[in-house]
A and B are shown apart, each in its own frame.
Chain A
């Protein structure tokens, strides 16, 4: 057990980097829009399939493939907002209605991808499998190091945006007190749009990274989103830094868990953590009570 410990932690950090991207987007969307965006998983899958289609089927260069994949992810996320969430919000639908609509969106897109690409697993096969580097007793490939680097860089960028940029600060102001934000003349709707673009962009990156490292299948977005969501709960749903930390925690705990249990129980480990947090610490590590419990 001890000799595989570094490897398990390394694996946890790698997947945790992806969870953190999803969770950061999820938290950003939740704190700005005040409802859970289940369609988030669709943006992940859209990014991954767009990459597969452009890179592997159409043989486009990697740079344009990545741009198209990101655009696809942003488009799917933004469409969820424009076509479904925004009209619902205008009718003053409750957060629960938005959540159910989001599940509908998720299933809709998941099946759209099944219809377009089939249920079989697609391999992007762009980066040849190389021998990994050994770092502190764990074998890590260059791609995996790249994944962690990309994730950390983007999350740092998100942090700079939220805390240093004028628009980011306004977005946090809306998250903090929407009524007050409107009173001082902030156009909330503009920032709803912006939050969906940024959140879906991060989801698209997560989809691309997973597509490059593993493979592409229709249910990937749902799975990743669930894990990203649990990460967000661990950190406190409305807190972006909390979501990032939660992502890494979940990644490591899951991988340590697989060290003891059969790998099929990975999902169960994640949900056990979810239940523990929901029951004992529903506000998460950094959460603030913000109407998340319906009050």
Chain B
């Protein structure tokens, strides 16, 4: 039971990173980014391949995951810079599909649909993080550092410019702000953090496959951010706890295994639809999606 709880808390901390980093683009800068999980997949795979295939230490694999994800964020942002609204949503969702297709088909590198197993647990200069409490410590440190950094960033000048871009891009441009540049910066940061989360995930579960970035998972992360209220980091924290732990309650209903998976997804999608219908600003609510 204790091991089970620790595992849930570790996953919670990892998804917290994914959610707050998505909030940086979706919430703070109003970029309708549906491809965020693509970065999670990229981070997980880069880190796994670097440490397993090339024998790099966790520290470097971790940094590589972050920088490669940031690079992909830059590439995505350059591709979609002219788009907004529905088209932006679709292009970013398309990015997710492209990552998925590459992971499934680039067999020699990613292991195809089977994925990569036996990813080594991290070690720092001889200190091997093998037990669950140790991993909990590692993810808590990384997760809280990122959480507070993003919370700080949202309040900083940079965050204010991002909000200005979200609320009225034209006005921000008229004030001489380079709106595209700040959007690219936000996207790269958000991608890098999400890649970090992917790396943490890969080294914790020690097994990854392309289903990490499937569309169903997009719903999961969207429901967290929208339940928490976009651009609201505290709300995101609470929503992560709710959304990650809620389906775990299904375990106690003793349902057959084949029913738990689909039920979990149905719950997420229902929550998402219900929030959009009845509480579009999320739990604490400041900003509405537009």
Give A contacts to B, CB under 8 Å: 35-36, 84, 87-88, 91, 93-97, 99-101, 103-108, 110-112, 114-115, 118-119, 222, 226, 229, 233, 237, 262, 264-265, 267-268, 271-272, 274-275, 278-279, 282, 291-295
Contacts and interface: CB of A to CB of B under 8 A. Distances in A.
B17 to A, nearest CB: 22
Interface string B81-115: 01111111111001001101110110000000000
Contacts of B80: 278-279
Given A88-B276, A88-B277, A105-B273, A268 B105 contact: yes
Contacts of A293: 83-87
Contacts of A282: 82-83, 87
Contact of B85 (A88, A93, A95, A112): A95
Contacts of B263: 111, 115
Interface stretch (B2-10, B49-57, B175-183, B214-222): B214-222
Interface in B42-93: 79-80, 82-91
A93 B89 contact: no
Contacts of A107: 215-216, 219, 265-266, 268-269
5 smallest CB-CB distances across A and B, nearest first, come from A294-B85, A111-B262, A294-B84, A108-B269, A104-B269
A271 B97 contact: yes
A107 B264 CA distance: 11
Nearest to B89: A99
A19 B86 CA distance: 21
Nearest to B113: A264
A264 B104 contact: yes
Between B82, B94, B98, B268, the greatest number of chain A beta carbons within 10 A of the residue's beta carbon is seen for B94
A294 B82 contact: no
A105 B94 CA distance: 18
A254 to B, nearest CB: 13
What DSSP secondary structure best describes chain A's contact surface? helix
B97 A267 contact: yes
Contacts of B100: 267
A151 to B, nearest CB: 24
B205 interface: no
B84 A295 contact: yes
27 contacts: A35-B86, A84-B277, A88-B277, A91-B280, A93-B276, A97-B280, A97-B289, A100-B276, A103-B269, A104-B223, A104-B269, A107-B266, A111-B263, A112-B262, A262-B105, A264-B101, A268-B98, A274-B91, A274-B94, A275-B79, A278-B94, A282-B83, A292-B86, A293-B87, A294-B85, A294-B86, A295-B85
Given A95-B85, A97-B289, A295-B84, A104 B219 contact: yes
Contact size class for B?
A: 35 or more
Contacts of B272: 100-101, 104
Contacts of B253: none
A108 B97 CA distance: 19
Interface in B125-169: none
Scoring A35, A101, A104, A293 by chain B CB atoms within 10 A of each residue's CB, the highest score goes to A104
Nearest to B81: A279
A291 B273 CA distance: 24
Contacts of B254: none
B228 to A, nearest CB: 14
B169 to A, nearest CB: 10
A96 B85 contact: yes
B86 A112 contact: no
A268 B270 CA distance: 30
B261 A114 contact: yes
A103 to B, nearest CB: 6
Contacts of B86: 35-36, 95-96, 99, 237, 292-294
A36 B259 contact: no
A95 B226 CA distance: 16
A111 B79 CA distance: 32
B32 interface: yes
Given A88-B276, A104-B276, 16 more contacts: A84-B273, A93-B276, A96-B86, A100-B272, A103-B222, A111-B266, A111-B269, A114-B262, A267-B100, A268-B102, A274-B90, A274-B91, A282-B87, A291-B85, A293-B83, A293-B87
Contacts of A115: 259, 262-263, 266
Given A264-B101, A295-B84, A100 B289 contact: yes
B45 to A, nearest CB: 16
